Amino acid sequence: MKLPEFEAKAVLKEYGIPVPRGRDASTPDEVELAAREIGGPVVLKAQIPVSGRGKAGGILFADDPAGARKIASGLLGSTIKESLVNTLLVEEALKVDKEYYLSVTIDRVAKRYVVLASVEGGVDIEQVALASPEKVSRYWTDPLSGLGEEQAREILARFDLSDDTAAELASLLTIMFSAAMDKDAELVELNPLVRTTSGTFVAVDARMIIDDNALFRHEEFAGRNLSREDETPLELEARKQNLAYVDLPGSTGVIGNGAGLVMATVDLVHHFGGSPANFLDIGGGGSVDINRRGLLLVLSKPEVKGVVVNIFGGITRCDFVAQAVIEATEESGTDKPIAVSMMGTNEAEGKRMLDEAGVMNFPNMEEAVQGLLRVQGGR
Amino acid sequence: MSIIVGRSTRVIVQGITGREGRFHTASMLQYGTNIVAGVTPGKGGEEVEGVPVYDTAAEAVARHQANTSIMFVPARFARSAILEAVDAGLSTIVAITEGVAHKDAIESMARAEQRGDTIVIGPNCPGVISPSKKTKVGIMPNHIFKPGRVGIVSRSGSLTYEIAWHTTQAGLGQSTCVGIGGDAIIGLDFVGALKMFRDDDETDGVVLIGEIGGNAEEAAAAYIAETGYPKPVVAYIAGRMAPPGKRMGHAGAIIMGEMGTASSKMDAFAAASVPVADRPSQIVGLLRV
């Protein structure tokens, strides 16, 4: 779960990482009020889940509350990089002396948390790492002992920093790391972390992604994952029903059991000249009801012109899948073609039911995809 | 020989009294797996499918000289179950559980690594099966496998069954099929499994089933190229059509920016002269064994 910027900053502030004074606002009135409270020049930042929003016009400066209101009127309700701007973060505009980068994330291959620091901030860290590797320091933390002051100093040792700056950054690194561990974050990124002209350090932008699988032990985030800004309406609906669903831009719906198998089926649709409309993993051993709801969800998408259902496994009951296909077809009154390939428990019974109901079924996934594409219109 | 599990495998089932634990215990016994005990805290003294249940892994191991565990515990208890199995001295731990938190998985793997001789398979995996040894420590359907000389290693479950079925139908069969798991943080990885297959005299070639997300496939390709891997390998990568930033069912199946794309993985295998099948049905034909 990606936290919106203002929430990520609120969390980091609790741990003692300085962030700019400011608050979120969703109307021009609120923006003007916030700017007045803050005093002086402010920066307005669109709260959208895309990178590069600054270049796309999502970060704008205002000298005074009236100016902030004017900018907010244009920005709120506009669309930046396909994301609707509902909320702005209004913050004090800081006088920046120098920008840094600090982050902690997970290295999957090393099976460790990796800490990154750079004396170049405000830019894409991967670009910096490619262009000037000497400006980036990486440190793989010991999973059983974590990150202390000593390790933090080690991370920064390759940079030519003043004692004060090194001490300040080392302290911020350890705080950021503990915040990440406490909150089960997959990513905490301070970019840029700035040193102002008055010498204080402030995290001007912050990103924080919480591990979905750890939400059970974080009541403080309860309810916040109900809607996600980077989710389509069907993806949201699917998540509410505990279905692993992803929208794709094409016209052939895809349902199956198991993530790898569904991905492979999606790829096959493309391979045989079709265009996949979605990814939907029902999981293993699904009930009639979950299969039926899954199929209804896919059929409800107007772009879908046909659906392939691919089941392979031991515990999934093929008669349940057949029953679900028949019920969903009747319930939706659809005339979109559905092609089924299934193998598993009660396979013969499932096929008999499909044959009786006149639903196309095939001995394997490749034939099912090709069979569907032959009859499906509007690719 | 086969890898990871074989005739000397003595299994305890952690979480044996739950619905899944009972179901798969019966299926593993039916296949021929030597299940010596089960563990569920508070249920010591009971029996499941004739298998005695203990309160702790340590007790089950002490009484029955077990060396392998398979676990069906809920995600929030996975960390403590893995640590319990590590502390009990088991050499192979198969974690079927889906949805384990990253921090818990990282700590669990580090503790297993610290112990030195413990292999963790998974989490979020279908387990391991060695057909000629009639040993399954996993949840895969029994009937699709047959004894043979192809090693299969995969991040997926049902896609692995599909591909294993192709090798069975082609008459090749499998030495061992291991599902290493769909999570971002897993124990045994592709490189680890490839090393084991290399040293296994019953394996003539390897099918590697990867998917988008992370860079484990790239690491495997580099390992194959650098070591001049002595056995033929064929790869398949699922998720060519996956959009960036979306989790495709598996927690680990997500493209982050430029990282973890199917094309990056396919390019890596091409550079290592490993043939990559365009679709699952081509794998058998590409396998030169």
pLDDT in tens, A244-282: 999 999 999 999 999 999 999 999 999 999 999 999 999
Cis peptide before A192 (omega within 30 of 0): yes
A349 is a catalytic site residue: no
Chain A residues in contact with B243 by the CB 8 A cut-off are: 246, 248
Residue A126 forms contact with B (CB below 8 Å): yes
Evaluate the omega torsion of the peptide bond into residue A337 and state whether it is cis, within 30 degrees of 0. Answer: no
Strand partners, A59: A45
Give the chain B residue whose CA is nearest to the CA of A216: B76
By DSSP bridging, strand B174-179 and strand B205-211 are unpaired
Question: What per-residue confidence (pLDDT) applies to A378?
Answer: 55
pLDDT greater than 60 at residue B15: yes
Residue found under tokens 């979905």: A212
| pLDDT computed for residue A261 by the predictor | 96
- The share of chain A scoring above pLDDT 70, in percent, equals 97
For A19-41, what is the mean pLDDT?
A: 95
How does residue A49 score in pLDDT terms, banded at 50, 70 and 90?
confident
- How many residues belong to chain A? 379
> Are B109 and A365 inside 8 Å of each other by CB?
no
Question: What is the model's pLDDT at position A83?
Answer: 83
B77 in contact with chain A, both atoms CB, cutoff 8 A: no
Contact status, residue A341 vs residue A311, Cβ threshold 8 Å: yes
**Identity of the residue in B109, B157, B250 whose CB atom sits nearest the CB atom of A111:** B109
Contact B92, B4 (CB under 8 A): yes
Residue B279 with chain A: CB contacts under 8 Å? 264, 267-268, 271, 366
The answer to whether A79 and A13 are in contact (CB under 8 A) is no
Question: What pLDDT band is residue A225 in, cutting at 50, 70 and 90?
Answer: low
Residue B87 has pLDDT above 70, yes or no: yes
Tell me if chain B has a CB within 8 Å of the CB of A284. Answer: yes
Backbone phi and psi for residue A194, each to the nearest 5 degrees, phi listed first: -110, 150
Q: Hey, which bits of chain B come out as E strands?
A: 11-14, 35-39, 47-48, 51-54, 68-71, 92-95, 119-121, 127-130, 135-138, 147-154, 174-179, 205-211, 233-238, 276-277
DSSP label at residue A234: H
Say what the alpha-carbon torsion angle B131, A317, B239, A50 is, to the nearest 10 degrees: -140
Closest residue on chain A to B157 (Cα): A258
Higher pLDDT, A206 or A126: A206
State both tokens at A64.
């005074």
Which residue in chain A has the smallest CA separation from B141? A314
pLDDT at residue B19 greater than cutoff 70: yes
- Could you give the CA distance from residue B157 to residue B162 in angstroms, rounded to a whole number? 9
- Pairs across A and B, CB distance < 8 A: 170
Structure tokens at B242: 């996956």
User: CA-CA distance, A253 to A368, in Å (whole number)?
Assistant: 12
* B:131-190 residues touching chain A, CB 8 A cutoff: 139-144, 154-162, 165, 182, 184-185, 189
Q: How many CB atoms lie within 10 A of CB A338?
A: 25
pLDDT band at A285 (very low <50, low <70, confident <90, very high): confident
The mean per-residue pLDDT over the stretch B1-20 comes to 94
Residue in A143, A269, A312 nearest the CB of B107: A143
Cβ-based contacts of B219 with chain A (< 8 Å): 109
Judged by CB atoms closer than 8 Å, whether chains meet at A143 and B106 is answered as yes
Taking only residues 8 to 67 of chain A, the set having a beta carbon closer than 8 angstroms to any beta carbon of chain B reads none
Q: How far apart are CA B61 and CA A226, in angstroms?
A: 44
Which of B61, B40, B178 minimizes the C-alpha distance to B122?
B178
Q: Residue B250 catalytic?
A: yes
Q: Average pLDDT, stretch A81-94?
A: 91
A99 exposure class (CB count in 10 Å sphere: 0-12, 13-18, 19+): middle
Res. A48 pLDDT band, cuts 50 70 90: confident
Instruction: Using the predicted structure, report yes or no on whether residue B134 has a pLDDT greater than 90.
Output: yes
Question: Is residue B252 pLDDT above 90, yes or no?
Answer: no
Partner-chain residue, chosen from B161, B185, B279, that has the shortest CB–CB distance to A108? B185
Residue A259 to residue B156, Cβ atoms within 8 A: yes
Interface test with A, best of B23, B31, B103, B265 (most A CBs within 10 A): B103
More confident residue, A213 or A316: A213
CA of A257, closest CA in chain B: separation in Å?
Answer: 7
Q: pLDDT of A100-155, one tens digit each?
A: 999 999 999 899 999 999 999 888 887 888 888 899 999 999 999 999 999 999 99
B281 chain-A contacts, CB cut-off 8 A: 364, 366
- Considering only CA atoms, which of A99, A112, A171 is closest in space to residue A139? A112
Nearest to A211 among B101, B158, B214 (CB): B101
| Residues 6+ positions from A67 with CB-CB distance below 8 Å | none
Chain B contact for A107 (CB, 8 A cutoff): no
* Residue B29 DSSP class: H
Residue of chain B whose alpha carbon sits nearest to that of A266: B241
Mutate to test the interface with A, among B241, B247, B256 (most CBs of A within 10 A): B241
Q: Which of A30, A32, A100, A101 is catalytic?
A: A101
Beta carbons of A194 and A204 less than 8 angstroms apart: yes
Instruction: Please state at what angle helix A259-271 crosses helix A365-375, rounded to 10 degrees.
Output: 50
Give the DSSP letter of residue B256: B
Supply the mean pLDDT for chain A. 92
Is there a contact between A195 and A172 (Cβ–Cβ < 8 Å)? Answer: no
User: Which of A331, A374, A339, A378 has its CA nearest to residue A358?
Assistant: A339
Q: CA A23: distance to chain centroid? A: 23
Two tokens, residue B50: 């004739």
The dihedral sign for the CA sequence B43, B45, B51, B57 = positive
B235-B236-B239 Cα angle (round to 5): 145
- Average pLDDT of every residue of chain B: 95
Cα A140 from Cα B102, distance rounded (Å): 15
At residue B34, φ and ψ (nearest 5 deg) are -85, 90
Q: What order of strands is seen across the sheet that includes strand B233-238? A: B135-138, B127-130, B174-179, B147-154, B205-211, B233-238, B276-277
Contact (Cβ atoms closer than 8 angstroms) between residue B110 and residue A143: yes
Tens of pLDDT, residue by residue over A160-184, are 999 999 999 999 999 999 999 999 9
Residues 211-270 of chain A whose Cβ lies under 8 A from any Cβ of chain B? 211-214, 216-217, 230, 244, 246, 248, 256-264, 266-270
pLDDT for the residue numbered A170? 97
pTM listed for this prediction: 0.92
Give the best-scoring range by mean pLDDT among A209-223, A236-250, B183-197: B183-197
Chain A environment of B189 (Cβ under 8 Å): 109
Strand partners for A319: none
Buried b (16+ CB within 10 A) or exposed e, A162-198: eeebbebbbebbbbbbebbbebbbbbbbbbbbbbbee
Q: Which residues in chain A have their CB less than 8 angstroms from residue B249's CB?
A: 244, 258-260, 262-263, 279, 281
Looking at chain B from residue 229 to 258, which residues have their Cβ under 8 Å from any Cβ of chain A? 236, 238-243, 245-253, 257-258
